[in-house]
Structure 1
C-alpha cells in the first residue's frame, strides 16, 4: 500500500544495529547540552502508521449504508436464488378428520412457521431491509386467506367432510384466465359452491383479476386470496411450500370435494408440485384439465360436486368379440376408436377376442395398430391392448360363446369398473367417450342418483338406438315419446332438462350387444347367473323349456339371452339416448351384417340375415344440449315394447322370479330364502342363497 519508503528502510536497519550493541551518541558532540532533543525515528514511524489506519477507518465508516434505509432492489433483472430455506422444511400436512377443525382467531393473518403446526397469529413485524426479487425466504403469512375461509365455513358446510364445495386454483395468471370461464359456468348451474383460490407470486388485485376475465356477481364464484406475504420476492421453494400450506388451510375450513387445475402447460411447476403433494396427503381428488378444456370439457360444468369427485375413480374397458372373417367391419371400428377423443379421462383398456382363423387383412392391420393412439395427452404410450387368439378351430356353441365373452372382463372394483361391449358392425363418433363419462358421472355418482339409488336398477348405458324391431325381431319398435308430465320447477331452472325435443332418452328392459356400457355391479351378477345356469343345465336330467325357449333373435349373440333373464328377474333397465343424440354417438352398419358365430349356419339361408343400409354419422348436438333427465322424467319400456311404470315393473319381476324358481326346482321346496316380492340375489334364483 506504499506505507513505507526506501529511506525508512535504511533507518530501520540502523535501529537494528543499535540493538546488536553498537553505541551512537544521543546528540552531536558539537551540540551544546542545552539544545532541544530530536524526536526518535521510531516514534515518527508509529505516528505514520496510526495516521494510515485512521484514514482507512474513516473511509470504511463513511461508506457504510444507512441502517434505517431500504436496500436497493433491482426489479428489472430479477435473480432467482438457489439457496435452500433455513431450517427443516415441513412435510405434507396430515389429513384432517373429525372433529371439525378449530376456527381461526379473529385477526385475519395465517402464519406458517417451518417445523410448527399452522396457526393464526397477529401480523409479523415489518422485515427490515426489504429483499431483492425471488430471494425472500422468511416465515409464511397468509394475510387475506383467513377472512374468506371463516366466512364460508358454516354457509357452505365447509366443516363437513361431505359437502358441495368445488375448488379451482391457479398461480399463473394465464392459467387463471383459462379456469375462470369454466368456474363461472359451473357456478351459474347452482349445483355446487364454486370457489377460486389465487396462489403463487403474482401481485394482481383480485378485483382486477375479476374485471380482466369478465367475472361478475352472476358467476356465483367465491374468491380466496391464498398468496403469502412478499409473494413477488419469494423464492420458488418458498412459493411451493406456500401452495402446500395454503391448500392445507383451505382443506381444513372448506373440505373441497374436488380440486381443478390447469394442466395445459401454462401453470407454474412449483405450484403444481406443492399442491399435488398436499392434495394427495389430504385425500382431495384432483382433475387436471387439458388444453382447450373450456371447449372440449365444458359439459363437466353441469355436474355437481359428488359426480366430479368420482372423476378419477372410473375405469372403462372396451371388449370386442371378432367373428371369423369380416375384417372390414373390425378395421373400421378400430379406426373410429383411434380417432376418438379420450381427453375426459384415461384411455380405456382394449381387449379383442380373435377367432382361430384370422384373415390376412386383419393380421396386417393389427401389426401397425397402436393402442392407445399416440397423442399429446398420452405421452408415455403405455400399451393397453390385449389380443386373445382362440385355439379351437371348431365354431363356438351357445354356451362356449357366452362363457368366453364373460370371462374376458372382470371388474377390479364393481362400483367404479365398467365394460363397453362393441360389435364389429358399429362405428363410433369421436365424442362417444365424453357422452359415456358425462352420463356415468350424473346417473351413478351425483348426489341425486345416490339419494334415489338410480344405479340400483340401471343395467348399462347404450350408445346405439335400435330401430325397427324388438329383440325377437318379430315386432316393430318405435322409441317412446317424451313423458307428458310437467317438469319440476327445479328442473326448469337447470339446463340439464331444459332442452325440448320430439324425442327423448328412455329406459328400456332390453340389453344391447352393439354398443353398450355394462356396469361393473351388473356384470358380476350376469357372470353369476350364467355360471349357475350352466351348472343347473348340466346337472338336470332334461333341459327345462324355460331355459330352451329363446326370446332373443339369433341375429344377436347367445349371451344376450342370459342378460335378458337377469333384467327381467331384477327389474333392471338400460338407458337409451334420444334419436338426436344417438346420431351423434354411433351407428350400426347392418349392410355389413355378419351372423354370430354360433348361429352362422342357421342364418346363412335365412332372410333374417339380410341387413339394412348403414346410417351415416352426423355432426350431432353438443353435449351441452344433451338431456340428462331424472329417471322419473323418462318413459320406461318393457322388453316387449310396452310402456310401464316402476310398480308394474316390480310386479312383472316378481312373476318372472316365481317362474324361474319353479323351472329350477319346483319353486325351491324347503328353501327359506327372501320373499318373492323382495330384491333377490342371483343365487336366490337357484335356491342357493349366494351371489
Structure 2
C-alpha cells in the first residue's frame, strides 16, 4: 500500500513542491559524472562489471523464476514465503507424516516460456485459444483424441499443458501416446516445475498457478478444459479453479472420460467460453387426474446425465391434481443424486375449466428468464420419454447455435427441438420431409453431418426455447390478448390441431410473423437412434380441449424404443462424425411442409406480417411500421396499452 500523501507534506525541510523543477537540468548529471571521474580506474572497472553481472542475473531469472506471481496479500503462504533467494534450502526441515522431505526452492520452468512465446501469433489480438490441461500423464490417452479432433477442425488454436509431478521428458510422453504432429496440430507446453517429483503439494499448486498466469498473459485462452476433481489431484484442481476464477477464464471440468464428450471438439472458443454461463429450466405441465406419465418422465430426468449442475425444474399442477402424484412429489429429490428438493411446484386455484387463452397465458407465464442471454426453458410434455443422453445433445446444440462466434449466430433461430414429429401438427397427416430441403450447396461436405431440419413449426413435446425469444413471445402474447386489440381483430382460423396445447397456435403466429424456426433432429426419422419419443398409451389431451361432449382427441406419434439408448451421444457421433451442420447452409421448411427458397420464404413472411398487423394487430394501412425493438413484439400491433391492460386484464 502506498504511503499517505500527508507523510511528506508535514516535513518543512522539503520546501515547495516545485523547487526541484526550478533547478538546472545538468546538476544531477554533472554530480554523477564528477563522482565517477574521482573513482580510481580499477574501482570503476570493478563497479561496471558488478552492475553488468547484476543486470544479467536479474533479466536471466525474471521470466522463469517465481515464488508466486500473484498479489502477495491474496496468495501468500507462511511456509513458502519464509525463504528467499539468500536461503537456498533444498529440502523441508520438517518431514511430513510419512517422513518425506520435500524440495521447496524457487519455482523454475525450463521450457514453458519458450513454447508459449513461440506459439504466440503476434499481431493477432484474438487467437481463439483453448487449453487442455492435466496433472496426470495417464489421462493423456483420453485427452489427446478430443484435443486433436478440435485442432483439426481449425476453429480454435488448441494447446495442451502438462503439469504435475512426473518428470518424464516431453518427447518420451509424446512417443508413448503415438503423437504425430502432422495428424494432430496442437501446441504442447511442459508446465511442470523443476524438481517436480520431489516437490511438496503446495509447491506444485504454486507452479500450476504460475503456469496459468503465464498462459493467460501470452495466449489469453478463452477456456481451459480438464477432468474433474474426482480424477485429478487436489493441488492441480485447486490451482486451476482458483486461477480461472481470478482471471475470469472459463474452466470446463468433465466428470467422465472425454470420449463421452466428442462433441466438444466441434465447438469454437466463443461457445466454450459460455459453458458455465448457460442455465436451463425444465417446465412441465401436469395433466389433471393422472400421475403415471409424469412420474415416468420425472424418473427419466433423474437418470439423465447432466455432467454438472442439473437444470432447474418447475412443475405446473392442475387444480384436481392426482393424490398419488402429490404423494410422490413429497419424496421427490432434485437435483438428482442429492438429498435436496430444489424444484418449484405451482398449482392452479381456479376450479373452472380453462379457456384456450387462459391456458396459453398460464403456460407462457410459467417461466421468466433472469437473464435472457443465459437462461432458457426446456418445455417437456408428461407423455414424453427422454433418453439419458438428451442433455448432451441439448447443450451441444445450444452452445453451437446460440453462443458461437457472433458472425455465425442465426438471428431467426428460436430454439432446439429434441423430438421429430412423425405427423404434421396442422392436420395430423404423416410428415414427409422433401429430400431437397435437407440438401445444401455443400452436400458433399455434409454427408457425415447429423441430419438436421429447420422447420417453421413450434413444438411442445420436448423443445428448448431461447430466453430472449421467450421474452419476445411473452411480449407478443401480451399485445395479442390485450382487450383493446381483441376488440378490433378478426378471429383467425385454428391452425394447430387440438392434440397440442393452445399456446402452440400463438407461437406459430409469432414465428410466422418473425420468420423464426426451430432445429429438428431429422436423424430420428432415419434410424433407431432418438433423443425423445412420445407415448400414445400415456397421451392425454390438453386440459383446455378435454371436453367429454366433443370427439376425443387422439395422438398420432411414432414411438421410438429408448430402452437401449446410450447414456451419451458418442454412438450418434460415431455414425455422423461430421457433427452438427452449419445452420447457415440449411434451408427452412415452411410450416405447411412445402418447399420454398429463401426469397419465397421471406416474401411469405412479409405478406403474413402485413395481414397479421391489419387483421389481428389492429393496424390500418396508414399506420407506420415501427422499428423492431429487441425482446419486444410491439411493432406487430397498434393502439395497445399493455401497461394498463396486459396479461393481468380479464379475458
TM-score for both structures, normalised by structure 2: 0.78
Gapped regions of structure 2 (runs ≥ 5): 1-57, 73-83, 93-99, 643-651
User: 2:91: which partner in 1?
Assistant: 131
Indicate conservation of the 8 Å contact 2:479/2:637, yes or no: yes
Indicate conservation of the 8 Å contact 2:131/2:160, yes or no: yes
Q: CA deviation at 1:668?
A: 4.3
Indicate yes or no: 2:310 matched with 1:352.
no
Indicate conservation of the 8 Å contact 1:298/1:624, yes or no: no
Gapped regions of structure 1 (runs ≥ 5): 1-103, 119-123, 375-379
Q: 1:87-166, aligned counterparts within 5 Å? A: 110-113=64-67, 130-131=90-91, 134-154=101-121, 160=125, 162-166=126-130
Match of 1:471 among 425, 436, 439: 425
Aligned CA distance change for structure 1 residues 615 and 131 (closer, same or farther; 3 Å): closer
User: 1:199: which partner in 2?
Assistant: 163
User: 1:230: which partner in 2?
Assistant: 195
Give the distance between the partners of 2:505 and 2:373, measured in 1 at CA: 24
Give the distance between the partners of 2:66 and 2:594, measured in 1 at CA: 66
Aligned CA distance change for structure 1 residues 106 and 629 (closer, same or farther; 3 Å): farther
User: 1:656: which partner in 2?
Assistant: 608
Q: CA deviation at 1:441?
A: 1.3
Q: CA deviation at 1:569?
A: 0.6
Indicate conservation of the 8 Å contact 1:134/1:236, yes or no: no
Q: CA deviation at 1:129?
A: 7.3
Indicate conservation of the 8 Å contact 2:476/2:632, yes or no: no
SS at match of 2:166: coil
Give the distance between the partners of 1:651 and 1:509, measured in 2 at CA: 14
Q: Which deviates more, 472-481 or 652-661?
A: 472-481
Match of 1:248 among 210, 213, 216: 213
Indicate yes or no: 2:346 matched with 1:397.
no
Indicate yes or no: 2:551 matched with 1:606.
yes
User: 1:647: which partner in 2?
Assistant: 599
SS at match of 1:609: coil
Q: CA deviation at 1:404?
A: 1.2
Q: CA deviation at 1:196?
A: 1.0
Indicate yes or no: 2:435 matched with 1:481.
yes
The number of equivalent residue pairs is: 557
TM-score for both structures, normalised by structure 1: 0.74
What are the Cα deviations for residues 559-595 of structure 1, in whole angstroms up to 9, with x where unaligned? 1111011101100011111124784211111233211
Give the distance between the partners of 2:62 and 2:147, measured in 1 at CA: 26
Which of the pair has more CA radius of gyration?
1
RMSD over aligned Cα, in angstroms?
Answer: 3.2
Give the distance between the partners of 1:149 and 1:105, measured in 2 at CA: 18
Indicate conservation of the 8 Å contact 2:440/2:587, yes or no: no
Match of 1:684 among 626, 635, 646: 635
What are the Cα deviations for residues 377-410 of structure 1, in whole angstroms up to 9, with x where unaligned? xxx6443311112212222111221111111111
Aligned CA distance change for structure 1 residues 116 and 366 (closer, same or farther; 3 Å): closer
Q: CA deviation at 1:483?
A: 4.8
Aligned CA distance change for structure 1 residues 650 and 451 (closer, same or farther; 3 Å): same
User: 1:558: which partner in 2?
Assistant: 502
Indicate conservation of the 8 Å contact 1:320/1:353, yes or no: yes
SS at match of 1:394: coil
Q: CA deviation at 1:686?
A: 1.1
Q: Which deviates more, 104-113 or 661-670?
A: 104-113
| Larger RCO of the pair (alpha carbons < 8 Å, separation 6+) | 2
Q: 1:535-574, aligned counterparts within 5 Å? A: 535=482, 538-539=483-484, 542=487, 544-545=489-490, 547-574=491-518
Aligned CA distance change for structure 1 residues 580 and 565 (closer, same or farther; 3 Å): same
Q: CA deviation at 1:167?
A: 0.3
Aligned CA distance change for structure 1 residues 314 and 200 (closer, same or farther; 3 Å): same
Indicate conservation of the 8 Å contact 1:465/1:582, yes or no: no
Aligned CA distance change for structure 1 residues 548 and 112 (closer, same or farther; 3 Å): same
Q: CA deviation at 1:130?
A: 4.5
Give the distance between the partners of 2:335 and 2:372, measured in 1 at CA: 24
Q: CA deviation at 1:623?
A: 3.5
Give the distance between the partners of 2:365 and 2:534, measured in 1 at CA: 25
Q: Which deviates more, 186-195 or 640-649?
A: 186-195
Indicate yes or no: 2:370 matched with 1:412.
yes
SS at match of 1:297: helix
